Amino acid sequence: MTRSHPSRRAVLRGGLTLAGLGALWRPDWFLPALSADDVLVPFTDLPATLNFAPTPDRRLLDVRTIEGAITPADQFFTTQHYGHPAIDPDAFRLRVTGLVSRTLALSIDELKQMRSIDVVAGFECSGNRRPLQGLCSNGRWTGIPLRAVLDRAAVRPEAREFIFFGADHGEEEVEFRGRTFTIDQAFGRSLPREKAMGAGPLLAFALNSEPLTAHQGFPLRLVVPGWYGVANVKWLAHIHVQEDPYLGKYQARWYRTVRQEEIEGSTTWTETAVTHMQPKSFIARVTQHDSRACTVTGVVLHDGTPLRSVEVRVNDEPWQPATVDEVTADDRYSWKLFTWTWTPAEPGEYTLVSRVTDVRGRVQPTVEELETKKTFLEDNSQHPRTVRIERVG
């Protein structure tokens, strides 16, 4: 093993031994210490053409390299619809308009003078799914509670709908009864009054104690803990408060879920907006120690409802309880990391899968159970992974 530490990512890709990486491997949670005898067990279900190479405005997290509760900012997944807008931070003002008693235009300095808080929140793009599951991350956000800014603007009693516009915009074709017209519009998302005025949402200016990067929405973004990625409006420039529902493209059309449901004995088709996260778990990595015990490591993403259990199963054997790491377990909106120890009896091909259940009794569904969902967003189905164990004992 060479002493000139190659990037851990490259090593994991190659499936080589993890020996000699002690200096790079400093988990801030209880991942068992890896020794010279630990090897990565490759997933055989991953396509050979797997590509994590970032483009200027899109980056996936290689979940096999997760080494702690917090995703470093330069590894945080990223995506958006209109590219990155150019923003002059000195000229920047957050405007608050509509059904408020005081219209606001706040500079970043004025915002930073308000009392800031830290929230650890994990989120995933609602389009995150197999085989990579790479559109998710977990960060420590610093910002001003949205509620404090809305209180300063003095929201009027008739206000029901809070729209958050980014500085990014683009031309959209709007279809209406067979006719189409083109308009230039800003990226916009809305929250209902109870959510906007509640304790959760944050106007964040820092991630992991560093100013946001352009990817993350510099200088200001909305963070809605427990909600899918799309709610977290980047380059937040304008909050408009109104009474009527907002039906912009990314609110009412692109981010919706169509599913068949049985309601009181009758079959009903529902179309709902993408809002809070559906409980999901997946296995991120398997390592084997000294050709014997394997450590199965995984991730849970959820809406902040406490978890009842995280379980793992091998082939068709009974489900076994996994252990949720303490660092993440106590942080309501953090993703949760879990481990499970497994000693395969003999070499061979195995299927491993995890499932999470929350205290409200929501169980992560199988692919078959999710077949009545016709649109690909909000895919929280159980994700079986296959591994080949080469040697035992």
Write the DSSP string, 349-376.
Answer: EEEEEEEEEETT--BPPPTGGGTTB-SS
Q: Which does 215 bind (CB under 5 to 8 A by kind): ligand MTE, Mo ion, none?
A: ligand MTE
**Structural tokens at position 37:** 């005898």
Which span (142-150, 227-235, 344-352, 359-367) binds ligand MTE, by CB under 6 A?
Answer: 227-235
Nearest CB to ligand MTE, comparing residues 168 and 379: 168
Asked if 301 touches Mo ion (CB under 5 A), the answer is no
- Least CB distance to Mo ion at residue 126 (A): 5
- Least CB distance to Mo ion at residue 117 (A): 25
- Least CB distance to ligand MTE at residue 285 (A): 21
In the beta sheet, which residues pair with residue 186? 169
How many helices (H) and strands (E) are present in the chain, helices listed first?
Answer: 5, 21
Residue ranges in 158-177 that form contacts with ligand MTE under rule CB under 6 A: 166, 168
Q: How far apart are CA 159 and CA 386, in angstroms?
A: 51
| Interacting residue with ligand MTE among 12, 38, 80, 311 (CB under 6 A) | 80
Asked if 229 touches Mo ion (CB under 5 A), the answer is yes
| Interacting residue with ligand MTE among 230, 286, 337, 356 (CB under 6 A) | 230
Reduced to 3 states (helix: H, G, I; strand: E, B; else coil), residue 68 is coil
Residue ranges in 284-343 that form contacts with ligand MTE under rule CB under 6 A: none
- Give the Å distances, CA to CA, from 373 to 128, 219, 226: 15, 37, 21
| Interacting residue with ligand MTE among 64, 84, 195, 234 (CB under 6 A) | 234
| Interacting residue with Mo ion among 11, 61, 94, 125 (CB under 5 A) | 125
Q: Kind of pairing, strands 179-192 and 202-207?
A: unpaired
CB contact at 8 A, 168 and 234: yes
Which span (80-88, 194-202, 331-339, 375-383) binds ligand MTE, by CB under 6 A?
Answer: 80-88
In the beta sheet, which residues pair with residue 165? 188, 238
Task: Give the number of residues in contact with ligand MTE, rule: CB under 6 A.
Answer: 19
Nearest CB to Mo ion, comparing residues 207 and 286: 207
Q: How far apart are CA 220 and CA 109, in angstroms?
A: 11
Task: Give 175's contacts (C-beta < 8 A, 6+ positions apart).
Answer: none
Phi, psi angles (nearest 5°) of residue 9:
-60, -45
- For residue 151, give the H/E element and its range: helix 146-153
Q: How far apart are CA 99 and CA 156, in angstroms?
A: 6
Nearest residue to the partner Mo ion, using Cβ = 125
Nearest CB to ligand MTE, comparing residues 280 and 355: 280
Return the C-alpha torsion angle 206, 209, 210, 214, nearest 10. -30
Burial class (CB within 10 angstroms; exposed 0-12, middle 13-18, buried 19+) of 13: middle
Residue window 39-78: x/- pattern of binding to ligand MTE, with contact defined by CB under 6 A: -------------------------------------xxx
Q: How many residues does the chain have?
A: 393
Asked if 142 touches ligand MTE (CB under 6 A), the answer is no
Which span (13-21, 171-179, 224-232, 269-277) binds Mo ion, by CB under 5 A?
Answer: 224-232
Nearest CB to Mo ion, comparing residues 230 and 322: 230
| Residue ranges that bind ligand MTE, judged by CB under 6 A | 76-82, 125, 166, 168, 187, 215-216, 229-230, 232-235
| Residue ranges that bind Mo ion, judged by CB under 5 A | 125, 229-230
